[in-house]
């Protein structure tokens, strides 16, 4: 299985600060169609996960443009500009390029 390694495991931030989360995969996530199926999810406390970004950099519907995703091959980054209170929770990267789909261990974003 493709191993997804997220760093850091946790982040303590102040409202208004910008942060970045790294996700590295054990294999290239470029599929045979040329697309890269790397996604970012947010699980707010006590809630179901919500997809923020799909295919590396495409913002999900209704997701603020404070969120952005970059990367290629095996190295990806989620950036949150000007963190707001509603952004707190656990962020996961996930890949659906290779079978079976796999998730990172998560990065917990907390208030400083």
Partner 1 sequence: EVQLVESGGGLVQPGGSLKLSCVASGFTFRDYWMNWVRQAPGKTMEWIGDIKPDGSNTNYAPSVKNRFTISRDNAKSILYLQMSNMRSDYTATYYCVRGWFHYWGQGVMVTVSS
Residues that bind partner 1 (CB under 8 A): 37, 39, 41, 48-51, 54, 60, 92, 94, 96, 99-106
Nearer to partner 1, 57 or 81 (CB): 57
Residue 56 has φ and ψ, to the nearest 5°, of 75, -50
> What's the closest the beta carbon of residue 22 comes to partner 1, in angstroms?
16
Nearer to partner 1, 31 or 88 (CB): 31
> What's the closest the beta carbon of residue 100 comes to partner 1, in angstroms?
5
**Cβ atoms of 72 and 29 closer than 8 Å:** no
> What's the closest the beta carbon of residue 80 comes to partner 1, in angstroms?
19
Q: How far is CA 24 from the centre of its chain?
A: 11
Taking the CA atoms of the chain, what radius of gyration do you get in angstroms?
A: 13
> What's the closest the beta carbon of residue 77 comes to partner 1, in angstroms?
19
Q: How far apart are CA 43 and CA 106, in angstroms?
A: 9
Nearer to partner 1, 81 or 103 (CB): 103
Tokens representing 111 are: 């208030």
**Cβ atoms of 70 and 21 closer than 8 Å:** no
């Amino acid at each position: 299985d493709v191993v997804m390694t997220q760093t850091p495991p946790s982040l303590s931030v102040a409202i208004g600060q910008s942060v970045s989360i790294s996700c590295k995969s054990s294999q290239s996530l470029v599929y045979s169609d040329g697309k890269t199926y790397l996604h970012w999810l947010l699980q707010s406390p006590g809630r179901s996960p919500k997809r923020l970004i799909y295919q590396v950099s495409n913002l999900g519907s209704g997701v603020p443009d404070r969120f952005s995703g970059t990367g290629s091959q095996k190295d990806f980054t989620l950036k949150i500009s000007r963190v707001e209170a509603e952004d707190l929770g656990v962020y996961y990267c996930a890949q659906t390029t290779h079978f079976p789909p796999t998730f990172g261990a998560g990065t917990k974003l907390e208030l400083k």
